[in-house]
């Protein structure tokens, strides 16, 4: 039997603190993929001098955990990741240094020390806004009314394992429309539960098209405003970092 090899050298320094980070994807950077962000983040962490903790083994990698990233092409004000560090740091100092090291459009908004519990478990729902240029509010409202009146609204999307059909309506917590300041432009606000498979903004748009043949002349501009604990009484989304900051709403 072959002998099992073990890595040479001392083991990696232990993690002494975990940080939770909220960042935004804005402007042209909304087209960056999760992999693009991961590469940019690791470079920025090194430039910012953050004392990252690493895994053991032959191929150590930074102890970073990414949570429920927005689809490529959508902007977001509420993306999250966690990182473990080998020395205790001041979260605000890390926020400023990391924000400076990342490119414009990937903006670090908040860093807190992680408290008990799982961040991923707190991300129960997302609040999205979709801006439809060339669509009147009345046209969009008719599609919304039709979708809300249904018990199920199935769409089919291609996955790595092949096409899969799933229900969009069950994930929708609320849908509302508003007129934009720009003529001929309507706004859709949608709160969706995080389900498996995840219901994305383009799935909601597919379901709306099925109601009234809604056909925007250009793809809507989509932004995630928040993700976190679902508030059933208000159909809102709370701050997932509130408990880490000593507040409520975890």
Domain boundaries, the chain: 17-114, 123-237
Q: For residue 6, what pLDDT band results from cuts at 50, 70 and 90?
A: low
Under 8 Å between Cβ of 70 and 224: yes
Determine the distance from the C-alpha atom of residue 108 to the mean position of all C-alpha atoms in its chain, rounded to a whole number.
14
CATH fold for the domain made of 17-114:
Alpha-Beta Plaits (3.30.70)
Find the mean pLDDT for residues 128-146: 95
In terms of pLDDT, which residue wins out, 172 or 246?
172
Would you say residue 61 has pLDDT above 90?
A: no
* Percent of the chain predicted with pLDDT > 70: 95
CATH fold for the domain made of 123-237:
Alpha-Beta Plaits (3.30.70)
Find the mean pLDDT for residues 24-41: 94
Q: What is the pLDDT of residue 249?
A: 42
Q: What is the pLDDT of residue 4?
A: 58
Find the mean pLDDT for residues 59-77: 92
Q: What is the pLDDT of residue 182?
A: 84
Find the mean pLDDT for residues 11-31: 94
Q: What is the pLDDT of residue 248?
A: 43
Judge whether 17-114 and 123-237 match in fold.
yes
In terms of pLDDT, which residue wins out, 192 or 215?
192
Find the mean pLDDT for residues 34-55: 94
Would you say residue 1 has pLDDT above 60?
A: no
Q: What is the pLDDT of residue 55?
A: 87
* Percent of the chain predicted with pLDDT > 90: 82
Q: For residue 10, what pLDDT band results from cuts at 50, 70 and 90?
A: confident
């Amino acid at each position: 039997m072959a002998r099992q090899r073990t890595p040479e050298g001392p083991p990696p320094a232990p993690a002494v603190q975990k940080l939770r980070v909220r960042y935004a994807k804005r402007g042209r950077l909304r087209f960056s993929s999760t992999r693009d962000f991961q590469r940019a983040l690791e470079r920025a962490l090194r430039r910012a001098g953050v004392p990252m903790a690493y895994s053991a083994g032959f191929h150590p990698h930074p102890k970073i955990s990414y949570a429920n990233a927005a689809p490529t092409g959508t902007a977001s004000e509420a993306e999250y990741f966690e990182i473990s560090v080998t020395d205790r740091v001041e979260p605000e100092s890390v926020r400023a240094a990391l924000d400076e090291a990342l490119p414009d459009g990937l903006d670090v908004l908040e860093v807190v020390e992680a408290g008990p519990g799982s961040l991923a478990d707190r991300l129960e729902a997302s609040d999205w806004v979709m801006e439809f240029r060339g669509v009147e509010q009345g046209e969009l409202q008719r599609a919304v009314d039709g979708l809300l009146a249904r018990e199920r609204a199935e769409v089919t999307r291609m996955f790595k394992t092949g096409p899969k059909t799933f229900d969009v309506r069950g994930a929708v917590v609320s849908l509302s429309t508003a007129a934009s300041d720009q003529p001929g432009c309507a706004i859709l606000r949608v709160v969706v539960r995080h389900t498996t498979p995840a219901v994305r903004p383009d799935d909601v748009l597919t379901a709306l098209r099925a109601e009234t043949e809604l056909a925007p002349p250009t793809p809507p501009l989509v932004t995630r405003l928040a993700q976190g604990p679902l508030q059933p009484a208000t159909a809102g989304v709370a701050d997932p970092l509130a408990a880490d900051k000593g507040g409520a709403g975890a």
